[in-house]
Amino acid sequence: MKQAGQLGLAFDLDGVSTTGTARFLSGFGGEIKTRLVIQRSRMPYGVLQSLKRQYSQDETPFFT
């Protein structure tokens, strides 16, 4: 990745969904941009995912 950056090439690392992955990939340099994700799910699954994001101690809904 570093060599590609030196050559002026770009990687689109779309799909980074955890802060740990974002921190790891940011170590290679580059520019981080926010992308919105829209997904559709049934009500019970959506509620469980929302609770998981709210109470998870490892991840936040935002990359910092």
In the chain, % helix, strand, coil (3-state, to 5) comes to 40, 0, 60
Q: What is the pLDDT of residue 64?
A: 44
Q: How far apart are CA 51 and CA 44, in angstroms?
A: 11
Per-residue pLDDT for 2 more than 80? no
Question: What ranges make up the beta strands (E) of 1-64?
Answer: none
pLDDT (mean) for 3-8:
81
Buried b (16+ CB within 10 A) or exposed e, 32-42: eeeeeeeeeee
Q: What is the pLDDT of residue 58?
A: 62
Q: What is the pLDDT of residue 59?
A: 55
pLDDT in tens, 10-64: 777 766 777 788 788 777 776 777 777 777 888 898 888 888 888 876 655 554 4
CB atoms within 10 A of CB 26: 14
Q: What is the pLDDT of residue 12?
A: 72
